């Protein structure tokens, strides 16, 4: 009987044998996947049940835990992607590694097939095999999850979305590995090339971010950077499904979150597939045994690796000298970059030539890499792309935000992620021209500061903030600025006094979730503290407090107020979270921490605090004070007029003087200001004295913590003469 | 018919095959012989469509072979270093080829394996080198292709198996017009079975002739001349390929017909004259010596 007469069953049987012989890693992959998805589900679900029994969790909590367990194993938080990556790489190498071996090339390419057919057949075998084992394993895992009662439609949807994402991820990693194989002629080089392809974009991306941090004064450390063309980064960058609710909103949020990365992965996969098609057309049987098949690619590979190594050398140099960095170090950084480039060129050449003695070959590529590395350094050092002076065209900006990191309004949720939005989410300033004007001044000040700092000069010249431009094309641009203390107050008032700013800067305007959940919170506590006294209450109405505070912000908050006066006190609200209550556990898992500064003219808030019985007048009252210790930090000098760098570079012996007489204490109290309640807009340079530190020793502690002392400064120019005389 | 038209193949700066043109007629056993590095394997890989020539074209039955599955269906290639699927048995390899070659005869394969004493259920990796070759040959024969390309396949087979394979090949040629192309260093083996010989040296074809014609067109003479003048007279006008002299006894390989050489030698009145049968090995040595591949260089340096 010849094969022309083969039945379908026989053909399937033969195909199965072929897959087992040629893709035997599928068996390992199947075992690993089965262990992770099926056994993992069984183990984790039974653990959840045991945990619930041990800690007397409610049925409601146990159910939620079970759902989360399945999502953890099979959703966006899963670690199964590592197994999928292994399978993709293994399949690629098993399917295409024949190109490294003349014996196998003879075997496969002498058969009646075209290169294209063979390529397609390998793809078909790999993808169908992967889909088969993945779907089979996940289906079994779903059955087990359902048997444990740990599957609902939202969990299923999230897991199915993740399965699709896994398929795209598999496809991309498989393609990357196939390209690595087709561009190289030996197995070790193909493996190295695979690692290179998997990491090159992410490594370069992080290196450029590192360079931005080093060279650009206005770089915002919290800029949400996105790295493109890296499936591995795309996969790892979304890893927090546990933070989402398991409902339709959670499913939608999951989709929104994974979509950009998944599209990026898919685009990478398609582009690489095209490259595979091109390279497979030019791939010759005789390329077997060569390290890299194509000369232009060899150039590209070596130059790219050298540039990466050069930049890494620069970053390493900077990290070593970070704390002693000055302008002279930049030249050292360049030298480190160039040396790293040359060393990398030697190593890469030795690998590509498979002969250590030929390390010095390929001088032209090395020179090209050196030129590129030097060019990158020059571009960043000289800011040739104008990063530090960039302000967008006002017409292209839809809104802006001024972000400072000083406010505390965190409502932690479950795993410790805050769910209250930030100023970057809430603030929509439409007076773009004013913001751009402030930004220009702020960027200039920051750059000057940066230069001074690099030269070892220190000065306090303004408020460090971040500006966010929301461009009309959807892009977000962040910059750090330093708004000088002496900025035109009319300009800054137009922004700070605006309703848009107030509503964006203060989270009390966005506390709907707290208001809604307040009843579920236990151990809630409202505390009001001034410089000395601190009082708390457990029974209060958060909504009333919030309304009063909102009103004060709208009516009484102004730049004029906050730049010249410090808060008289602060409200602290803290509580255990909903989750903690549901868990019925004593472990502190989540809590809310909200600090609200109170100014003298916040009449509505003060009125409510009085109603709660926790308000205390803000006076440094002599009756509370036992003694005062005044420390002159720079005896014989005037820290308010002399350059700080000079003062910082010298060691001074502080002079302390303790006052116990009522008259001295009173005069000190009258001229002291408590600066424990920080506000970003306050002009610390011009309003507070920097030379003296005042420590008030209390007769009795006035707070729950038993604190017996409090620290203040003198108002600028208000240091009593007897203090000067006693401490200089 | 397989035609190679002005084929050139370079590997970096080495020209492995240089302007080769050859024809392989159907139902003949074509023997490809050549020095080491002559380009035999490269040429065969081009014939089966593994390697693409840099220039020229390889046609099988008037169709270009490279990347052409329709043509490749008619060709089975047994390389000098055979590959089998990992951990496979002869039976599984038959299953595999059954999918690829529509005329693959699995029953016959099992029968032949049985005849050659090969266990079809045993892993090929545990076979000896010669047994692996037997499996390859039997798979090739049972594939039912028109052309069977063997790259040094017969080297390493024991005489009994070799004879058995030769018999099967002969039967296949008779029954279904199989055309084997066999490259080998073992010239005595080729001599037995080949109808046509192609001789390669340094990437070029030195000769391509029917073996019978080749033997007719080249003679090996042993003779003794009365004097040097007689020797000159006798050899005048003849294309002497190899001339060896021991004492007064001359051994001369001459290109030409037997009658032509006999009449030429009559001019020299040799004291002793005899035409000896010429083996393929001697033809090979003579022809390659003409183009500078002299065995004595290896010995004398």
Provide the CATH number for the domain around residue B108: 3.40.50.300
What percent of chain A has pLDDT above 90? Answer: 58
pLDDT at residue A582 is higher than 80 = no
Q: For A114, which residue in chain B has the nearest alpha carbon?
A: B67
Q: What is the pLDDT of residue A191?
A: 96
Q: What is the pLDDT of residues A171-202, one digit of tens each?
A: 999 999 999 999 999 999 999 999 999 999 99
Q: What is the pLDDT of residue A576?
A: 61
* Farthest CA pair distance, chain B: 72
Q: What is the pLDDT of residues A266-277, one digit of tens each?
A: 999 999 999 999
DSSP state of A621: -
- The candidate with the shortest Cα–Cα distance to A309, out of A350, A338, A335, A275, is A338
Under the banding of pLDDT at 50, 70 and 90, the label for residue B301 is very low
| Residue from A111, A115, A120, A280 to probe the interface with B (highest B Cβ count within 10 Å) | A111
Cα distance between residue B186 and residue B203, in whole Å: 19
pLDDT at residue B178 is higher than 50 = yes
Q: Determine the distance in angstroms separating the CA of A168 from the nearest CA of chain B, rounded to an integer.
A: 29
Q: What are the structure tokens assigned to A210, written together?
A: 């590192």
Q: What is the pLDDT of residue A355?
A: 86
Q: What is the pLDDT of residue A223?
A: 86
Q: For A105, which residue in chain B has the nearest alpha carbon?
A: B50
Q: What are the structure tokens assigned to A279, written together?
A: 């390279």
pLDDT at residue A250 is higher than 60 = yes
How do beta strands A591-598 and A409-413 pair?
A: antiparallel
Cα distance between residue B59 and residue B283, in whole Å: 29
Which residue, B210, B226, B259, sits at the end of a domain? B210
Q: What is the pLDDT of residue B67?
A: 87
Q: Determine the distance in angstroms separating the CA of A12 from the nearest CA of chain B, rounded to an integer.
A: 10
DSSP annotation string for A54-91: HTT--HHHHHHHHHHHHHHHHSTT-SHHHHHHHHHHHH
pLDDT at residue A507 is higher than 70 = yes
Chain centroid to Cα A5, Å, comes to 63
Asked whether the beta carbons of residue B50 and residue A24 sit closer than 8 angstroms, the reply is no
Q: Are B181 and B263 members of one domain?
A: no
Asked whether the beta carbons of residue B69 and residue A114 sit closer than 8 angstroms, the reply is yes
- The candidate with the shortest Cα–Cα distance to B1, out of B151, B147, B142, B169, is B147
- Kindly report the backbone phi and psi dihedral angles of residue B97, in degrees, each rounded to the nearest multiple of 5, phi listed first: -70, -25
What's the rounded mean pLDDT across residues B95-102? 90
Cα distance between residue A214 and residue A380, in whole Å: 9
Q: What is the pLDDT of residue A420?
A: 62
Q: Determine the distance in angstroms separating the CA of B256 from the nearest CA of chain A, rounded to an integer.
A: 41
Asked whether the beta carbons of residue B79 and residue A114 sit closer than 8 angstroms, the reply is no
Asked whether the beta carbons of residue A110 and residue B49 sit closer than 8 angstroms, the reply is yes
Q: What are the structure tokens assigned to A520, written together?
A: 């579920």
Q: Are B79 and B189 members of one domain?
A: yes
Q: Are B6 and B105 members of one domain?
A: yes
Asked whether the beta carbons of residue A21 and residue B106 sit closer than 8 angstroms, the reply is no
Quickly tell me which residue has 């399917």 as its tokens: A95
pLDDT at residue A53 is higher than 60 = yes
Is the CB of B101 inside 8 Å of chain A's CB atoms?
A: yes
Q: Are B199 and B238 members of one domain?
A: no
Under the banding of pLDDT at 50, 70 and 90, the label for residue A706 is low
Q: Are B172 and B49 members of one domain?
A: yes
Q: What is the pLDDT of residue A1?
A: 46
DSSP state of B120: T
Give residues with Cβ within 8 angstroms of A354, minimum separation 6. Answer: A186, A291
* Residue range of the domain that includes B238: 217-300
Q: Determine the distance in angstroms separating the CA of A15 from the nearest CA of chain B, rounded to an integer.
A: 8
Q: For B85, which residue in chain A has the nearest alpha carbon?
A: A21
Q: Are B283 and B195 members of one domain?
A: no
Under the banding of pLDDT at 50, 70 and 90, the label for residue A244 is low
Q: Are B95 and B194 members of one domain?
A: yes
Q: What is the pLDDT of residue A416?
A: 45
Q: How many CB atoms lie within 10 A of CB A243?
A: 16
B79, B99, B102 ranked by CB distance to A106: nearest: B79
Cα distance between residue A250 and residue A242, in whole Å: 10
What's the rounded mean pLDDT across residues A713-717? 89
Cα distance between residue B144 and residue A2, in whole Å: 9
Under the banding of pLDDT at 50, 70 and 90, the label for residue A367 is very high
Q: Determine the distance in angstroms separating the CA of B98 from the nearest CA of chain A, rounded to an integer.
A: 5
Q: What is the pLDDT of residues B190-218, one digit of tens each?
A: 777 888 888 888 888 877 888 878 777 88
Under the banding of pLDDT at 50, 70 and 90, the label for residue A584 is very low
Q: What is the pLDDT of residues A370-391, one digit of tens each?
A: 999 999 999 999 999 999 999 9
Q: Are B50 and B160 members of one domain?
A: yes
Chain centroid to Cα B114, Å, comes to 29
Q: What is the pLDDT of residue A438?
A: 96
Asked whether the beta carbons of residue A4 and residue B103 sit closer than 8 angstroms, the reply is yes
CATH code where residue B259 lies: 3.30.70
Which residue, B186, B210, B234, sits at the end of a domain? B210
Q: Determine the distance in angstroms separating the CA of B103 from the nearest CA of chain A, rounded to an integer.
A: 5
Which residue, B155, B184, B210, sits at the end of a domain? B210
Q: Are B42 and B87 members of one domain?
A: yes
Q: For B105, which residue in chain A has the nearest alpha carbon?
A: A2
CB-neighbour burial class of residue A633 (10 A; exposed 0-12, middle 13-18, buried 19+):
middle
Is the CB of B105 inside 8 Å of chain A's CB atoms?
A: yes
Q: Are B293 and B273 members of one domain?
A: yes
Q: Alpha carbon of A395 to those of A398, A433, A475, B21: distances in Å?
A: 8, 9, 14, 73
Is the CB of B109 inside 8 Å of chain A's CB atoms?
A: no
Average pLDDT across chain B, whole number: 87
Average pLDDT across chain A, whole number: 88
Q: What is the pLDDT of residue A514?
A: 77
Q: Are B194 and B231 members of one domain?
A: no
Asked whether the beta carbons of residue B106 and residue A2 sit closer than 8 angstroms, the reply is yes
Q: Are B78 and B196 members of one domain?
A: yes
ipTM, two decimals, is 0.85
Is the CB of B121 inside 8 Å of chain A's CB atoms?
A: no
**Interfacial B residues in 189-248 facing A (CB < 8 Å):** none
Q: What is the pLDDT of residues A290-337, one digit of tens each?
A: 889 999 999 999 999 999 999 999 999 999 998 888 878 899 999 999
pLDDT at residue A415 is higher than 60 = no
Provide the number of structural domains found in chain B.
2
Is the CB of B100 inside 8 Å of chain A's CB atoms?
A: yes
Q: What is the pLDDT of residue A336?
A: 97
DSSP annotation string for A394-453: GGGEEEEEEE-S---EEEEETTTEE-S--HHHH--B--HHHHHHHHHHHHHHHHHHHHHH
Q: What is the pLDDT of residues A597-608, one digit of tens each?
A: 999 999 999 999
């Amino acid at each position: 009987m010849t094969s022309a007469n083969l039945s379908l069953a026989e053909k399937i049987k033969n195909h199965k044998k072929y897959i087992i012989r040629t893709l035997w890693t599928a068996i390992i992959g199947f075992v690993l996947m089965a262990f992770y998805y099926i056994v993992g589900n069984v183990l984790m679900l039974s653990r959840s049940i045991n945990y619930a029994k041990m800690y007397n969790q409610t049925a409601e909590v146990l159910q939620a835990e079970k759902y989360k367990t399945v999502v953890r194993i099979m959703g966006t938080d899963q670690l199964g992607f590592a197994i999928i990556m292994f399978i993709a790489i293994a399949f690629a190498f098993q399917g295409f590694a024949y190109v490294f071996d003349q014996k196998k090339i003879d075997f496969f390419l002498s058969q009646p097939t075209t290169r294209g057919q063979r390529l397609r057949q390998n793809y078909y075998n790999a993808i169908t095999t992967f889909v088969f084992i993945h779907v089979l394993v996940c289906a079994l895992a779903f059955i087990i999850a359902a048997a444990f009662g740990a599957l609902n439609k939202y969990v299923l949807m999230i897991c199915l979305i993740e399965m699709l994402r896994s398929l795209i991820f598999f496809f991309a990693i498989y393609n990357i590995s196939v390209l690595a194989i087709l561009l190289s002629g030996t197995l070790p080089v193909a493996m190295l090339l695979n690692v290179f392809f998997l990491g090159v974009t992410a490594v370069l991306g992080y290196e450029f971010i590192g360079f931005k941090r080093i060279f650009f004064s206005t770089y915002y450390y919290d800029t949400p950077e996105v790295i493109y063309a890296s499936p591995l980064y795309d996969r790892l960058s979304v890893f927090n499904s546990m933070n989402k609710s398991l409902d339709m909103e959670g499913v939608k949020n999951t989709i929104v979150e994974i979509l950009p990365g998944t599209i990026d992965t898919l685009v990478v996969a398609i582009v690489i597939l095209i490259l595979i098609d091109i390279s497979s057309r030019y791939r010759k049987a005789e390329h077997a045994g060569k390290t890299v098949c194509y000369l232009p690619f060899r150039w590209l590979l070596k130059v790219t690796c050298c540039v990466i190594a050069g930049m890494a050398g620069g970053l390493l140099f900077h990290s070593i000298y970070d704390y002693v960095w000055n302008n002279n170090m930049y030249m050292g950084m360049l030298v480190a970059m160039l040396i790293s480039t040359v060393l990398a060129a030697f190593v890469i050449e030795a690998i590509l030539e498979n002969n250590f003695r030929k390390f010095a070959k390929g001088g032209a590529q090395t020179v090209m890499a050196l030129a590129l590395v030097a060019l990158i350094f020059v571009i960043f050092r000289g800011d040739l792309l104008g990063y530090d002076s960039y302000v967008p065209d006002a017409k292209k900006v839809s809104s802006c935000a001024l972000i400072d990191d000083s406010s505390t309004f965190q409502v932690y949720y479950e795993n410790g992620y805050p769910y209250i939005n930030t100023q970057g989410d809430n603030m929509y300033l439409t007076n773009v021209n004013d913001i751009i004007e402030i930004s220009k001044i702020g960027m200039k000040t920051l750059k000057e500061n940066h230069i001074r700092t690099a030269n070892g000069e220190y000065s306090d010249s303004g408020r460090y903030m971040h500006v966010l431009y929301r461009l009309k094309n959807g892009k977000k641009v962040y910059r750090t600025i330093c708004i000088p203390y002496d900025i035109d107050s009319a300009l800054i008032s137009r922004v700070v006094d605006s309703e848009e700013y107030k509503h964006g800067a203060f989270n009390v305007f966005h506390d709907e979730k707290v208001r809604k959940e307040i009843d579920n919170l236990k151990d809630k506590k409202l505390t009001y503290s001034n410089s000395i006294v601190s009082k708390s209450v457990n029974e209060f109405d958060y909504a009333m407090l919030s309304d009063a505070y909102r009103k004060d912000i709208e009516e009484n908050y102004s730049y004029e107020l906050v730049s010249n006066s410090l808060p008289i006190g602060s409200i602290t609200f803290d509580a255990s979270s909903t989750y903690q209550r549901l868990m019925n556990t004593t472990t502190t898992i989540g809590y809310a921490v909200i600090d609200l500064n109170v100014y003298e003219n916040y009449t509505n808030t003060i009125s409510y605090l009085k109603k709660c019985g926790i308000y205390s007048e803000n006076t440094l009252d002599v009756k509370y004070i036992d003694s005062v210790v005044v420390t002159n930090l720079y005896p014989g000098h005037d820290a308010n007029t002399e350059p700080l760098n000079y003062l910082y570079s010298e060691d001074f012996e502080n002079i302390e003087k303790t006052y116990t007489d009522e008259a001295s204490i009173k005069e000190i109290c009258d001229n002291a200001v408590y600066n424990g309640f920080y506000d970003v807009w306050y002009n610390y340079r011009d309003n507070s004295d920097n030379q003296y530190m005042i420590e008030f020793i209390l007769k009795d502690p006035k707070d729950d913590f038993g604190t017996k002392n409090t620290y203040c400064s003198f108002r600028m120019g208000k240091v009593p003469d007897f203090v000067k005389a006693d401490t200089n | 018919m397989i035609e190679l038209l002005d084929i050139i193949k370079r590997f970096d700066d080495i020209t492995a095959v240089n302007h080769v043109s050859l024809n392989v007629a159907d139902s003949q056993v074509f023997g490809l012989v050549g020095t080491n590095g002559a380009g035999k394997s490269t040429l065969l890989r081009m014939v089966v469509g593994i390697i693409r020539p840099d220039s020229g074209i390889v046609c099988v039955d008037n169709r270009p072979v490279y990347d052409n599955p329709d043509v490749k269906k008619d060709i089975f290639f047994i390389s000098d270093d055979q590959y089998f699927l990992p951990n496979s048995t002869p039976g599984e390899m038959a299953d595999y080829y059954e999918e690829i070659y529509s005329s693959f005869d699995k029953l016959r394969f099992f029968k032949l394996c049985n005849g050659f004493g090969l266990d079809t259920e045993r892993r090929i990796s545990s076979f000896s080198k010669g047994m692996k070759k037997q499996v390859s040959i039997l798979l090739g024969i049972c594939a039912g292709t028109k052309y069977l390309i063997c790259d040094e396949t017969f080297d390493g087979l024991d005489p009994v198996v070799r004879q058995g394979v030769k018999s099967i090949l002969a039967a296949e040629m008779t029954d279904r017009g199989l055309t084997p192309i066999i490259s080998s260093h073992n010239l005595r083996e080729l001599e037995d079975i080949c109808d046509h010989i192609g001789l390669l040296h340094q990437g070029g074809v030195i000769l391509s002739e029917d073996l019978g014609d080749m033997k007719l067109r080249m003679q090996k003479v042993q003779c003794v001349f009365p004097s040097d003048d007689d020797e000159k007279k006798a050899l005048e006008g003849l294309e002497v390929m190899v001339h060896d002299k021991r004492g007064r006894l001359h051994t001369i390989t001459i290109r030409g017909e037997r009658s032509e050489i006999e009449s030429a030698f009559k001019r020299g009145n040799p004291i002793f004259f005899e035409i000896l049968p010429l083996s393929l090995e001697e033809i090979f040595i003579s022809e390659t010596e003409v183009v500078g591949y002299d065995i004595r260089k290896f010995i004398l340096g």
